[in-house]
Structure 1
C-alpha cells in the first residue's frame, strides 16, 4: 500500500476559522492513513519548501565543519539537557543488530539561549533552527487535535499532554540529519545509513532532501519507498501514541538504505520528534488496560538507553 498524500489546506498554519465539517473530513482521512499505514504525506501545511531548504542549508554548513569544531557541541555536554547536541557518524545504532548508523545529527531539545550554540561559520544556526522548531510545533498541535477528533475524543485530549513543547519540561526534539557520502568499499557488513527502528513518542514530522533511501514498513511487513515529495511533510505515528490509542494508530518501522555503489551524493532530512510533556502519564485513551500507564519521560529514557546509544 502506498503512503497517501492529504491536502491540509483547510487547516494550514495561519488559518484560524475552520468549519466543523472540514475538520471532521480531514480527521477521518488522517485516521485512515494512520490505522492502515502509519504514515501520511501532508501538502499545503503552511510550511513551504523555501523554509525547509533554508534550515537544511544552515545545518549542512555545521555538519561540513571540521570535527574539532563540532565536538564542543556534542550530545551529553549540555548540563540542561542530556539529549541536546551533536551526534557523530556511527555514534548511534538504531538497530542493535547492525553496525553504527552512517549519519550525523544535531538534537535541538533545549531552546535555551544560555546553551552553547554553533556560531563560527554558522552564526545564524540557533535563530534559524529555533524558528523552524516553533513552526513544526504549531503544525504538530493541529495534527494532534485532528487525531483526537478521528477517534471521537475531545479535541484537547492529546493537546493537554503537550503543553510544554519547547521548554525544559518537554523532550520534543528538532533533529537535522546529514548522511555523508558513502564509500561502498569501506562499509561494514549489514551497515545502513539508518537502521530499522520505530520512533518513541507521539508523532514525527519529517522533511527530506531529494535523495532517496527512506523506506517504511507497511502492514504486510514489507519495506516500501517513502520518497521526498517537494512541499510536503511526512508524518508517522510513534510508539507511545500506539500505546496511548490501544493499537488503533499504528507505529511503523522505517530505515534509510545505503546509496547505490558509486553514488557519492549526500542526503539530508529534518525530523521533528513530538514527545508528551515529561510528567505526563500516558494511559490507554479508550479506558482499557491493554497497556499499563507509563510516565512519558521514563518511557523515552528507557527506549533511548535500550536502542539509541552505542
Structure 2
C-alpha cells in the first residue's frame, strides 16, 4: 500500500511522513503539492496530439543515438528496452532535456503549443522536486541540508540530465509474443522521480517481499519514488524500488491506451555520488557516468 500524504500545509510540513513512506515503501503519493490537475491535463492533451502524428513525422524528431548529441526527442516503440529479459516492450516516449541547447528541438511546425506547454510543465515539476529534495535532506538529517540544492543546481539550464518524459502505451495488437510487456522491470536512474498517471493504471511496484503490487492512480496526486542515486547517497537507507507495467491479463483492456508524464530528477553531470555518511558501500561515480552506464544497457 503506497501512502497518500496531503501537502496542503506545504511539502516541508509533511516532511516526516514523506521520509517515512520513502524509507518503508520507496514510493509516496503527494496531494495538494503545487501543480493543479488542469495543468497536467493540458500536457497530456498536447502529448496526445503528438502521439496521433504519423510515424514518419514523429521520427523527424527522434532522440539522437549519441548522448553527446542530447537526450531530447522521440523514442519509438522497440528502441528502448528497460529489461533485456523481455521479448518486447511496447511504448513510445518523447524526452525533454533542456540542457541539450542547440539539440533541443520540438515539433513546432506541427504542434505550435507543444514547446511552451512542456517547458512550462518542466519548470513547475522542477520547483516541486526542489522542495522534495530539500525536505529529504532536512528530515534525513544530512550534514549539509543544501547538498541536493548544490548538486542539482543546473537542472533545466546546464550540464544536468533532469528529463521530462511524455510516455504513451498504445493499444496492443491482437497477437503479441510471449514475454511482451509495456514497460520492463527497472529502477529509475536518478535521484527522485515525479510521476503523473492517467486513470488507466497498470503500474506495479515491487514490495520488500519480492511481490508486485498495483500502484493504482490517485486522482490529483503525484507519485514520488527514489532512484538509484538517492540509494547510493543514503547508503541504502532509502532504496530504489523496482517497478513495471505489464500487458493486462484481461484482453478486453488491450485496446486501452495508457499515458503518463515522468519527471526524472538527476544531479549535475559532474556531481560525484557516494554515500553521504562516509561509508564505502558504493564507489564514487559521477552522475553523468552512471547515466551513460544505464543508457548503454537500455538503448
TM-score (norm 2): 0.94
Distance in 2 between the 1:113 and 1:283 partners? Answer: 29
* Residue segments in structure 1 that go unaligned for 5+ positions in a row: 13-22
Structure 2 equivalent of residue 143 of structure 1: 132
SS class of match (2:154) = coil
Structure 2 equivalent of residue 3 of structure 1: 2
Distance in 1 between the 2:272 and 2:151 partners? Answer: 8
Would the aligned equivalents of 2:72 and 2:105 in 1 still touch at CA under 8 Å?
no
Structure 2 equivalent of residue 58 of structure 1: 46
Counting only pairs closer than 5 Å after superposition, residues 166-177 of structure 1 correspond to structure 2 as 166-177=156-167
Distance in 1 between the 2:200 and 2:98 partners? Answer: 29
Would the aligned equivalents of 1:111 and 1:130 in 2 still touch at CA under 8 Å?
no
Cα distance change, pair 290–77 in 1 and its aligned pair in 2 (3 A):
closer
Cα distance change, pair 100–91 in 1 and its aligned pair in 2 (3 A):
farther
* Mapped pair 1:244 → 2:243: no
Structure 2 equivalent of residue 277 of structure 1: 268
Would the aligned equivalents of 2:99 and 2:159 in 1 still touch at CA under 8 Å?
no
Shift of 1:279: 0.6
Cα distance change, pair 45–166 in 1 and its aligned pair in 2 (3 A):
same
* Mapped pair 1:123 → 2:122: no
Q: Could you give the per-residue CA deviations for residues 57-80 of structure 1, whole angstroms, max 9, x where no partner exists?
A: 001101110011111110117996
Counting only pairs closer than 5 Å after superposition, residues 83-122 of structure 1 correspond to structure 2 as 83-110=71-98, 114=102, 115-122=104-111
* Residue segments in structure 2 that go unaligned for 5+ positions in a row: none
SS class of match (1:158) = helix
SS class of match (1:76) = coil
Q: Could you give the per-residue CA deviations for residues 120-177 of structure 1, whole angstroms, max 9, x where no partner exists?
A: 3311111000000000000001000111112112321211100000023000000000
Distance in 1 between the 2:77 and 2:167 partners? Answer: 11
Q: 1:30 aligns with which of 7, 15, 18?
A: 18
Structure 2 equivalent of residue 216 of structure 1: 205
Distance in 1 between the 2:23 and 2:266 partners? Answer: 20
Distance in 1 between the 2:99 and 2:48 partners? Answer: 20
Would the aligned equivalents of 1:91 and 1:100 in 2 still touch at CA under 8 Å?
no
Distance in 2 between the 1:229 and 1:89 partners? Answer: 27
